């Protein structure tokens, strides 16, 4: 991938998804905290009610990725959610997107392969996985 | 460029297109530093302070010569004021744990500024917590200045130490550390200076300035990572206890109890980072050879070029209170997160830092979550500033 292709992916997916994130709304519900102490990106993921929402601030990549997380997990049972998240985390960490992976998520894998930023891409996903594996743990 | 400084840094031959603007995080490595460390492995490798053979004696001599060089470099009275550590963070932790903690009692206080890097904030916060002492924060005044008057109003007879950075790694602010040291001296309070951002190009005179403790890292002055310096004045030299005990720092060991050497030799338990210290020595040689006033003028001119170049770009917002002589300029681009700015610049092979720069209290104070930081050094060129400005303009157009 070259710079022009990266810019195309940003124009087609990352910028629209981050400028108008899916189910992006502040709520007063119980939440999962996704926080990166190195850069200050911080999102709250509201898990109590369907559909899940999230809110917070961060870079376009972390926000777009959190938004895609909302889309992916919508109306999915918790067991499947966990598998779906693990599948995506594996894909990002290995840099290999298989046919099972949603096309928009494969774009994130491609972007990670181009210029890293794995922490931005996986911020909300890892926080959500930690919550699903240990729901009683308080946020931060 | 003066004396072809850029040519002395081999990384730019390997990466001719790289625009490296992150020297405040780590400076690039000088050719003679690399050669010195390599040569030690090729022909000089032996442990120091313990061999009765030529190779070890030579290694010991070279190692101790670096202590002398560093003493001359910062105008310390003697090599015995110079301890080697693995970096600024360790140096500050030695003072916090090895000097201050045993003397700190409930009701005492320690003063740090709002501008500190976490390395000069957390060690004090931790010892204060452990001893029931208070951590007081010296604020900036309305001009972003740390003033002696404000410090005067903050300290009292239970203030046990003041710790201040010389140059803020986030703002590029140069703090009036000599003035603050005068206030401390008048009250008999020791002052620690975090010189991580200044020791490279800004000449230090630790004796004349009345500093009691000074900490800095080798890798920010063109030397190797994993090397650092702790200067301790004669007044406090015998009061610094080590964090680690073991071979090489003892006076006498007995099954009933043992005694240790004094600072700086008590800091160096175990086998020290000999090639690293020799590399640090090569970096110090270089810095003492070059015209450091000219070097500061050079980074100032680059910072000035960036500041005036972005003045016409309304989306670029500079952080306040910078001093151009630091070579550090922090900014934000309106409606674009600093990580996205740095990511875009990276695609143009421009390396800048984005994030909180380990200064969360300062960013909270400025109501910011993150910034972009460009930091210049002697190997940077005006054309690189122009590439940064051009790339920022392209980013702003792209993001719309």
pLDDT, residue A48, reads 86
Interface subset of B 350-389, CB within 8 angstroms of A: 354-356, 360, 363, 369-370
**Residue B392 to residues A10, A33, B173, B237, B334, Cα–Cα distance (Å):** 16, 32, 23, 49, 11
Q: Is A51 within a domain?
A: no
CB nearest to A39's CB, from B336, B346, B354: B354
ipTM for this prediction: 0.83
Helix, strand, or coil (residue A35) = strand
pLDDT tens track for B311-332: 999 999 999 999 999 999 999 9
Q: B343–A117: do the CB atoms touch at under 8 Å?
A: yes
Q: Is A40 within a domain?
A: no
Q: Which of B9-18, B19-28, B44-53, B99-108 has the lowest mean pLDDT?
A: B44-53
Chain B contact for A15 (CB, 8 A cutoff): yes
Q: Is A66 within a domain?
A: yes
d(CA A83, CA A86): 5
Q: Is B358 in the active site?
A: yes
Nearest to residue B116, comparing CAs of B78, B86, B95, B146? B146
Q: B340–A7: do the CB atoms touch at under 8 Å?
A: no
**Residue B100 to residues B16, B88, B124, B143, B172, Cα–Cα distance (Å):** 47, 17, 9, 32, 28
Query: What's the CA dihedral at B339, B344, B347, B349 to 10 degrees?
Result: -80
Q: Is A67 within a domain?
A: yes
pLDDT, residue B168, reads 96
Chain B contact for A9 (CB, 8 A cutoff): no
Domain count, chain A: 1
Q: Is A27 within a domain?
A: no
Domains of chain B: 32-289 (3.40.640.10), 291-399 (3.90.1150.10)
Q: Is A96 within a domain?
A: yes
Q: Is A94 within a domain?
A: yes
pLDDT, residue B256, reads 93
Helix, strand, or coil (residue A56) = strand
CB nearest to B340's CB, from A3, A6, A59: A59
Chain B contact for A103 (CB, 8 A cutoff): no
pLDDT tens track for B125-178: 999 999 999 999 999 998 999 999 999 999 999 999 999 999 999 999 999 999
pLDDT tens track for B41-94: 999 999 998 778 999 999 999 999 999 999 999 999 999 999 999 999 999 999
Q: Rounded mean pLDDT of chain B?
A: 96
* Residue A79: domain span: 3-21+60-133
* Bridging pattern class, strands B328-333 and B371-375: antiparallel
Q: Is A55 within a domain?
A: no
The pLDDT of residue B394 is above 90 = yes
Geometric angle at alpha carbon B350, from A105 and B353, rounded to 5°: 75
Number of A:B CB contacts under 8 A?
A: 49
Chain B contact for A140 (CB, 8 A cutoff): no
């Amino acid at each position: 991938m070259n710079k022009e292709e990266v810019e195309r992916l940003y124009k087609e997916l990352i910028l629209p998804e981050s400028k108008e994130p899916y189910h992006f709304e502040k709520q007063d519900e119980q939440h999962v905290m996704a926080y990166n102490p190195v850069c200050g990106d911080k999102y709250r993921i509201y898990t109590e009610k369907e559909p899940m929402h999230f809110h917070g601030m961060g870079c376009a990549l972390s926000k777009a990725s959190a938004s895609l997380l909302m889309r992916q997990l919508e109306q999915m049972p918790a067991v499947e959610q966990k598998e779906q998240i693990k599948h995506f985390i594996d894909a990002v960490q290995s840099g290999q997107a298989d046919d099972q992976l949603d096309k928009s998520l494969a774009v994130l894998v491609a972007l990670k392969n181009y210029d890293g930023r794995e922490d931005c891409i996986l911020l909300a996903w890892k926080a959500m996985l930690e919550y699903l594996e240990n729901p009683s743990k308080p946020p931060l | 460029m003066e004396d072809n400084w850029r040519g002395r840094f081999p990384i730019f031959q390997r990466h001719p297109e790289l625009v490296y603007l992150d020297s405040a995080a780590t400076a690039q490595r000088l050719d003679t530093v690399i050669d010195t460390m390599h040569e030690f492995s090729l022909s000089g490798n032996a442990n120091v302070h313990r061999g009765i053979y030529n190779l070890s004696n030579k290694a010991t001599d070279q190692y101790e010569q670096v202590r002398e060089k560093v003493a001359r470099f910062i105008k310390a009275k003697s090599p015995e004021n110079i301890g080697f550590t693995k970096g600024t963070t360790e140096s500050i932790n030695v003072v916090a744990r090895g000097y201050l903690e045993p003397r700190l009692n409930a009701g005492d206080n320690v003063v740090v500024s709002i501008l500190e890097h976490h390395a000069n904030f957390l060690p004090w916060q931790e010892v204060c917590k452990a001893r029931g002492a208070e951590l007081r924060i010296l604020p900036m005044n309305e001009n972003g200045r740390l003033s002696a008057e404000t410090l005067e109003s903050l300290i009292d007879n239970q203030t046990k130490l003041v710790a201040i950075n010389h140059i803020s790694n986030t703002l590029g602010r140069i703090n009036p550390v000599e003035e603050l040291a005068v206030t401390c001296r008048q009250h008999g309070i020791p002052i620690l200076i975090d010189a991580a951002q200044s020791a490279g190009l800004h000449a230090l005179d630790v004796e004349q300035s009345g500093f009691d403790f000074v900490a800095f890292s080798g890798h920010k002055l063109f030397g190797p990572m994993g090397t650092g310096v702790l200067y301790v004045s004669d007044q406090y030299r015998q009061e610094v206890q080590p964090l680690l005990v073991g071979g090489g720092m003892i006076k006498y060991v007995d099954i009933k109890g043992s005694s240790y050497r004094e600072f700086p030799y008590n800091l160096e338990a175990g086998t020290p980072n000999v090639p690293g210290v020799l590399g640090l020595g090569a970096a110090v040689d270089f810095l003492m050879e070059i015209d450091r006033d000219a070097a500061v003028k050079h980074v100032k001119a680059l910072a000035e070029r960036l500041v005036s170049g972005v003045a016409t770009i309304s989306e670029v917002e500079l952080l306040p209170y910078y001093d151009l002589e630091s070579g550090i300029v922090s900014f934000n681009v309106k409606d674009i997160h600093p990580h996205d700015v740095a990511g875009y610049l990276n695609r143009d092979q421009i390396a800048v830092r984005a994030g909180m720069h380990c200064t969360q209290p300062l960013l909270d104070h400025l109501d910011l979550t993150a910034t972009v930081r460009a930091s210049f050094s002697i190997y940077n060129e005006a054309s690189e500033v122009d590439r940064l400005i051009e790339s920022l303009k392209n980013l702003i157009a792209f993001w719309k």
